Amino acid sequence: MNRCGIATITMSPDPPSAGSSFSTRLYALNKRCVRKSWAIQLVRRTGCRYAALCGSMLLPVSAFATNPFLDAKDDKPVSAKFRGTEWSDEIGRDEIPLTARVVTTRIAKMPWGAIFKIEFTDLKSRAKKPREIPPDYFIVTDDRIVLLNEEDNDAAVKKISAMDKPPTFEDGDVRGITSGKLDHEEGPWTTTIKVKGDECAYLTNHNSGHFSKIVWKKGAGLVEYASGYGAHGDGYRLKHEVTGRKR
């Protein structure tokens, strides 16, 4: 009897490189601005009578695209406590403490990605006028986190979630990448998105002093969210509060 040898070669593509009136104004300003693997199986028989070459498409471990900076195992809301400061002309020169609860919910799941809603609730500070931060919607693929900015985001979610492939994204709407660096300029806005270690930082600045910052962390999602209007005229900065581990 002849002996047989089987060799399997797997090839995968590399991943792409990489309520105050202030809140309403700044929100509007900021908003303007499958994988396939192939297996080749070579069957050889001693005596070299024949060799068979066949290619077959194999599904990856997960049939859905995932992003290490914003992902969820299910559609249940995930809540986290954020702590930071806020400032405004009404508050005065000094910044005052601000806390919030940030709720992240996956509201749609597609083979090519997902859509998340991030809400900012229970905002508390000693300011006379309570601060409001509108929710954000993000379209997430395996290499991009993109702001969904439509007049009716809920209707847009239904439309996009029914697509068989992701829509075309503008660089100005990108809020996160998975590797490398992305620079973008649009009018008076200058934006940089950079991955360093296990964090991805998005920072955009306006020449009049407006700014917005978002930081994502692998396995944790949103860990920092900040916005400012004018030269320290009004704004806030919130960071995920990390509790110490019990020994």
Q: What is the pLDDT of residues 88-126, one digit of tens each?
A: 988 888 899 999 999 999 999 999 999 999 999 999 999
**pLDDT, average across residues 34-45:** 29
What pLDDT was estimated at residue 244? Answer: 58
- Specify the range with the lowest mean pLDDT, choosing from 1-10, 60-69, 177-186: 1-10
| Residue that wins the pLDDT comparison between 60 and 202 | 202
Q: pLDDT tens digit string along 198-209?
A: 999 999 999 999
SS3 per residue for 178-224? CCCEEEEEECCEEEEEEEECCEEEEEEEECCCCEEEEEEECCCEEEE
CA distance 163 to 110: 8
Structural domain boundaries in the chain: 29-34+62-240
- Specify the range with the lowest mean pLDDT, choosing from 5-19, 101-115, 163-177, 196-210: 5-19
What pLDDT was estimated at residue 231? Answer: 75
Residue 156 has pLDDT above 50, yes or no: yes
Q: Looking at residue 146, what DSSP letter applies?
A: E
Q: How many residues does the chain have?
A: 247
CB 211 within 8 A of CB 205: yes
Q: Which of 177, 175, 220, 218 has the alpha carbon at shortest distance from 195?
A: 177
What pLDDT was estimated at residue 232? Answer: 76
Q: Which of 143, 145, 189 has the alpha carbon at shortest distance from 18?
A: 143
Q: What contacts 180, CB < 8 A, 6 or more positions away?
A: 17, 18, 194, 195
Tokens at residue 212, please? 């917005």
- Residue located via tokens 């195992």: 73
What pLDDT was estimated at residue 126? Answer: 93
